[in-house]
């Protein structure tokens, strides 16, 4: 199904009446809503579910203060439309054992660290990848071109594998979807976000975004490259359809993924599982601890997370640890969750040991461990291939 351009809500939604006045403290930031009537306002939703209208200045002061939120200004129906349906949010029973090890094991050996280094090296040459900057526009064009080349080089386009843009009318950067059709339209999704941000200067500040989330972007790109070499999968023999998503504007408040998942929700699309790969490359070498996967347990589908433990144990050599960040972080899987779909989130390690160079000039590739990115690629490939051929 070709995704059409979604009509955005009227920009007047950003404005509220001059009579609205309220002050609320969040952390060290005081929200002052007694502002001029024509000052742009944004509706943000915090991790605890409460909503607040804020100005642009207040929004980014909260970000710099470490507060996590989703900017829901343009997506008031996300999560509400599903509750109006007669059919409740589906719950899936995932397999209790793997069934594709003979097919997957040879594919894991094809994952290439040099490709990760090359692709991330190019991605981080863009001054930043902010969704409304010229740099963010150029970076998504490069990424889309790279994806098209990857598909064409395998001949997969001749078998119905497609790459398309999910156009955001409010953004210079668009999200990207690659689809590998199966026997049914029931879909398994893996995602990453392609944008980056410098919290001190969003439009023109340097933001290489190597770990956040260049690492996830190139990790799932490498998984795509390897999966396209599998004739059975490319030939449409899988039970379920696979999709790869590269979201725009995550750093703006999950904007791109909210747009996309709202469309899926309203279109009645069946998605049986979504895995977000956001920050896959950093490992703190100063601690006396072996590398591991960090299973973020805050806002996720618990049965899907349990299934991913099985995948990690079967297809990687690393342990996993349950971790979380409470109200202080999140990623695009939360848009899927809000739309009523099962979402999962796995990062580079326990949250307290994750990368401390984010959202500025120092999020550089030199701090990353490409072997750890291969670990994430192995997990992602195992997850996708197993569920592609699973009947559940």
Whether residue 264 is predicted with pLDDT greater than 50 in this model: the reply is yes
pLDDT at 195: 99
Whether residue 46 is predicted with pLDDT greater than 80 in this model: the reply is yes
What are the residue boundaries of the structural domains of the chain, listed by start? 11-74, 84-388
Whether residue 18 is predicted with pLDDT greater than 70 in this model: the reply is no
* CA 239/CA 159 separation, integer angstroms: 16
pLDDT at 16: 26
**pLDDT above 70: percentage of residues in the chain:** 87
Q: What is the pLDDT of residues 328-346, one digit of tens each?
A: 678 999 999 999 999 999 9
pLDDT at 32: 52
Work out whether strand 343-347 and strand 271-277 pair parallel, antiparallel, or are unpaired.
Answer: parallel
Residues paired with 24 in a beta bridge: 31
pLDDT at 63: 87
- Give the Å distances, CA to CA, from 44 to 40, 252, 364: 13, 11, 30
Q: Which residue has the higher pLDDT, 107 or 67?
A: 107
Q: What is the CATH number of domain 84-388?
A: 3.40.630.10
* CA 91/CA 280 separation, integer angstroms: 28
Three-state DSSP state, 7: coil
DSSP type of residue 17: -
State mean pLDDT over 371-387: 99
- Give the Å distances, CA to CA, from 318 to 105, 111, 157: 16, 17, 35
**pLDDT above 90: percentage of residues in the chain:** 77
pLDDT at 39: 77
Give Cβ neighbours of residue 179 (< 8 Å, ≥ 6 apart).
161, 162, 163, 164, 241, 242, 243
pLDDT at 83: 52
State mean pLDDT over 99-119: 99
Query: How far separated are the first and last CA of the chain, in Å rounded?
Result: 23
What does pTM read for this prediction? 0.89
* CA 217/CA 88 separation, integer angstroms: 32
Q: What is the pLDDT of residues 285-309, one digit of tens each?
A: 767 889 999 999 988 999 999 999 9
DSSP type of residue 286: T
State mean pLDDT over 309-317: 99
Three-state DSSP state, 293: strand
Q: Residue count of the chain, please give it.
A: 392
Q: What is the pLDDT of residues 137-154, one digit of tens each?
A: 999 999 999 999 999 999
Instruction: Spell out a b/e string for 164-173, using b for 16 or more CB atoms within 10 Å of the CB, else e.
Output: eebebebbbb
How would DSSP label each residue in 309-339?
Answer: HHHHHHH-S--EEEE--GGG---THHHHHHT
- Give the Å distances, CA to CA, from 34 to 24, 43, 62, 71, 79: 11, 15, 18, 20, 29
Assign 3-class secondary structure to 184-214.
CCCEEEEEEECCCCCCCCCCCCCCCCHHHHH
* CA 115/CA 238 separation, integer angstroms: 26
DSSP type of residue 172: S
pLDDT at 23: 29
Whether residue 41 is predicted with pLDDT greater than 50 in this model: the reply is yes
Our CA angle for 38, 40, 44, nearest 5°, is: 140
* CA 7/CA 148 separation, integer angstroms: 26
pLDDT at 82: 54
pLDDT at 21: 28
pLDDT at 286: 66
pLDDT at 9: 30
């Amino acid at each position: 199904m070709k995704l059409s351009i979604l009509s955005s809500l009227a920009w007047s939604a950003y404005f509220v009446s001059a009579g609205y006045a309220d002050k609320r403290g969040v952390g060290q930031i005081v929200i002052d809503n007694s502002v001029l009537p024509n000052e742009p306002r944004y509706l943000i939703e915090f991790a605890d579910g409460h909503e607040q209208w804020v100005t642009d200045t207040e929004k980014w002061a909260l970000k710099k203060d470490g507060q996590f939120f989703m900017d829901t200004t343009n997506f008031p129906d996300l999560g509400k439309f599903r509750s109006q349906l007669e059919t409740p949010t589906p719950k899936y029973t995932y397999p209790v054992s793997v069934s594709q090890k003979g097919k997957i094991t040879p594919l894991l050996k094809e994952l290439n660290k040099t490709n990760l280094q090359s692709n991330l090296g190019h991605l981080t040459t863009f001054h930043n990848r902010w969704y409304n900057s010229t740099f963010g526009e150029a970076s998504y064009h490069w990424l889309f071109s790279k994806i098209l080349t990857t598909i064409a080089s395998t001949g997969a386009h001749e078998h119905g594998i497609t790459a398309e843009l999910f156009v955001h009318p409010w953004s210079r950067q668009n999200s990207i979807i690659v689809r590998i059709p199966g026997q049914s339209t029931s879909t398994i999704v893996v995602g990453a976000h392609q944008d980056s941000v410098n919290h001190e200067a969003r439009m023109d500040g340097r933001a290489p975004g190597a770990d956040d989330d260049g690492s996830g972007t190139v990790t799932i790109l490498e998984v795509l490259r390897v999966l396209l070499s599998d004739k059975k999968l490319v030939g449409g023999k899988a039970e379920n359809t696979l999709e790869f998503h590269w979201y725009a504007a995550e750093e703006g408040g999950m904007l791109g993924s909210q747009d996309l998942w709202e469309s899926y929700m309203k279109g009645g699309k069946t998605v049986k599982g979504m895995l977000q790969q956001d920050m896959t490359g950093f490992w703190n070498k100063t601690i006396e601890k072996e590398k591991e996967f960090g299973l973020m347990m805050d806002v996720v589908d618990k049965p899907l997370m349990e299934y991913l433990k099985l995948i990690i144990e079967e297809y990687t050599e690393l342990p996993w640890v349950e971790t979380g960040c409470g109200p202080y972080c999140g990623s695009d899987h939360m848009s899927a969750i809000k739309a009523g779909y099962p979402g999962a989130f796995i990062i580079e390690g326990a949250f307290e040991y994750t990368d401390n160079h984010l959202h500025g000039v120092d999020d550089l590739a030199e701090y990353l461990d490409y072997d750890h990115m291969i670990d994430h690629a192995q997990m992602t490939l195992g997850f996708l291939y197993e569920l592609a051929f699973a009947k559940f």
